Amino acid sequence: MPTDLYRERVLPSGLTFGLAPLLGLFVYAIALPLNAVLGLWLAIAATLILTVCLYSLAPVIVATKGEFRVGRATIERKFLASIHEVLTEDIFAERGHKLDSRAFTSFQASVHSALKIEIADPADPTPYWLFSTRRPEELKYFLEN
């Protein structure tokens, strides 16, 4: 198995994870008139399920010597062309009216930094990848070297 040069799980913000207990509280309030003990167990289960889902569904970015992966999408590194860090003030436009519908995207709403990588594969109709990352400078360094 190739050694990862770079690995990052792009998790939602802490505030998003903080909503899981709030969901549990709502579930408890709904189930309380039926049975307090059942409500407590359902609240705990709802909190745990949401927390596990938020963690496990967060995209993972992996760069090895031969390939690059964001979530389930994989490309050979030889097909990566120019790499641009998307500035915080430009993120809204890049995700909105500037976005090419053929582009591969992977966004985490609470992450306000991203990379845009042009694809140089003539057989691939995808013009670029645009994805959220918390460490764009570090990832760009690994991909360019």
pLDDT of residue 5: 87
pLDDT surpasses 60 at 1: no
Per DSSP, helices labelled H in the chain are 14-31, 36-56, 91-95, 136-144
pLDDT tens digits for range 57-79: 999 999 999 999 999 999 999 99
- Are residues 77 and 135 located together in one domain of the fold? yes
- Are residues 18 and 83 located together in one domain of the fold? no
- Are residues 117 and 95 located together in one domain of the fold? yes
pLDDT tens digits for range 90-145: 999 999 999 999 999 999 989 999 999 999 999 999 999 999 999 999 999 999 88
Distance CA 123, CA 84 (A): 22
- Are residues 50 and 65 located together in one domain of the fold? no
Range of the domain at 121: 61-144
- Are residues 105 and 128 located together in one domain of the fold? yes
Contact between residue 130 and residue 82 where contact means Cβ atoms under 8 Å apart: no
- Are residues 46 and 74 located together in one domain of the fold? no
- Are residues 94 and 38 located together in one domain of the fold? no
pLDDT band at 2 (very low <50, low <70, confident <90, very high): low
Number of domains comprising the chain: 2
pLDDT tens digits for range 26-64: 999 999 999 999 999 999 999 999 999 999 999 999 999
- Are residues 35 and 67 located together in one domain of the fold? no
> What pTM does this model have?
0.85
pLDDT of residue 145: 81
- Are residues 126 and 84 located together in one domain of the fold? yes
5 domain-assigned: no
Taking the alpha carbons at both ends of the chain, their separation in whole angstroms is: 20
Distance CA 64, CA 53 (A): 26
- Are residues 87 and 133 located together in one domain of the fold? yes
- Are residues 110 and 131 located together in one domain of the fold? yes
3 domain-assigned: no
- Are residues 119 and 65 located together in one domain of the fold? yes
